[in-house]
Amino acid sequence: MTYTVPNLKDFSAAAVDKAVAKLIAAVESEAKSVTSESEWKAFRDRWMARTNGLLTQVNNLWLKAAPKDAKREVGRRVNEVKKRVDEIIASASEQMQSAASTSRLSAEHIDITLPGIRRPLGAEHPVIKTMNEIASVFRNLGYSVEEGPEIETDYYNFEALNFPPNHPARDTQDTIFIANQESKPQRERLLLRTHTSPVQIRTMEKIKPPLRIVIPGKVHRNDPPDASHSPMFHQIEGLAVDTNITFGDLKGTLDHAMKALFGSSVKTHFRPSFFPFTEPSAEMMVSCFICGGSGQRGSEPCRPCKRTGWIEILGCGMVDPNVFEFVKDHGYDPRKVSGFAFGMGADRVALLKYGVDDIQLFFQGDVRFLRQFV
């Protein structure tokens, strides 16, 4: 029921006290129901409005109506009432504002204890990891890393590496050439490099001997993909040039490198081979680091070494003097310097190292496969 200010007939202290208590209870209960700013303003005006607010009525109906002898006491109580009503109205405003900001906060609430959005960390691809490991073995021997373009000219990819003009590697069956270059002289024709060896020539053109470099990179051949072939694969090769470099240096360096890569117990074995850019040339085998050279894994034959106990791992040889002829003007006089070169398939080393049996798995981008190598 809405409160109205009563007329006072009895101005005794007890009667005034009772009227005051009723009024205060009414203000307090109205204050509680205020929930918005407009409600609070209506509440304030109902009590405080100068012309007909309830406090003005209290002034008229209680104080002005009081008999002379009671006026002083009633005046004191009316002042107390005004002060108290003022306080209640002020605190109703504070409560209304804090309730509004609490509800705004809860609407904008963020739970800082919830887990964030996890971004998976990238990791090295097993082939890149293998190339880096090989490079670091040679870096420890004083070799530096060199890189070159994947689109090469016939000159750097074949001619300067002593490939004869009709070598089968120059055939489109083996090499991927850039189209529509028939009008260019052969040595200027562009192709996707078939090995990392052009970087040997490019580096000798810019750095004088002595030289020790490793060259990691992507190469391309016109091979249909299968479990052991991919039209795109990776090589890492090395070149050392100085005065008096011998085949003994080649064997010692590679033997050390294989032990660093595959374990100190592996043995190396060289057998004659042929490459256009090295003379003499050799293929190097390492004793199988999977079966320990026995050719058997328990009662099963060892597949990676085809039960021979040896794995063919790289090609190598002494740099053919004909190759130095192409960079003679850059300080590589074949009568003064000698050197050795070697190269291996990084993917093949990674296959052996991680026991993977299909090279295609490396290039399909399947995270479920790649995650195993993190």
Q: Among residues 253, 147, 234, which one has the least CA distance to residue 198?
A: 147
CB of 295 to Zn ion, least distance (A): 6
Q: Do 231 and 221 form a contact (C-beta atoms < 8 A)?
A: yes
| Mode of pairing for the β-strands spanning 211-220 and 144-145 | parallel
SS3 (DSSP) at 317: strand
Q: Among residues 193, 170, 191, which one has the least CA distance to residue 180?
A: 191
* Residue (236 or 302) nearer to Zn ion, CB: 302
CB of 188 to Zn ion, least distance (A): 46
Q: How deeply is 259 buried, as exposed, middle or buried, from its count of CB atoms within 10 A (0-12, 13-18, 19+)? A: middle
* Residue (148 or 295) nearer to Zn ion, CB: 295
Q: Say which residues have a Cβ less than 8 Å from residue 15's Cβ, sequence separation at least 6.
A: 8
* Residue (138 or 310) nearer to Zn ion, CB: 310
* Residue (191 or 266) nearer to Zn ion, CB: 266
Residue identified by tokens 């078939």 is 194
| Element containing residue 89 per DSSP (H, E) | helix 68-107
CB of 289 to Zn ion, least distance (A): 8
CB of 285 to Zn ion, least distance (A): 11
Report d(CA 252, CA 270) in Å as an integer: 12
* Residue (223 or 312) nearer to Zn ion, CB: 312
Length in residues, the chain:
374
CB of 137 to Zn ion, least distance (A): 22
Please, which contacts does 161-167 make with residues 24 or more away whose CB atoms are closer than 8 Å? 161/197, 161/198, 161/200, 161/201, 161/276, 161/277, 161/323, 162/276, 162/277, 162/320, 162/322, 162/323, 163/276, 163/277, 164/276, 167/276
Report the Cα–Cα distance between both ends of the chain, in Å, rounded. Answer: 76
Torsion region of 360: left, alpha or beta (phi above 0 gives left; psi -120 to 50 gives alpha): alpha
* Residue (58 or 302) nearer to Zn ion, CB: 302
Report d(CA 30, CA 27) in Å as an integer: 5
* Residue (288 or 346) nearer to Zn ion, CB: 288
Per CB under 5 A, residues contacting Zn ion are 288, 290-291, 302, 305
* Residue (26 or 291) nearer to Zn ion, CB: 291
CB of 305 to Zn ion, least distance (A): 3
CB of 312 to Zn ion, least distance (A): 12
CB of 258 to Zn ion, least distance (A): 15
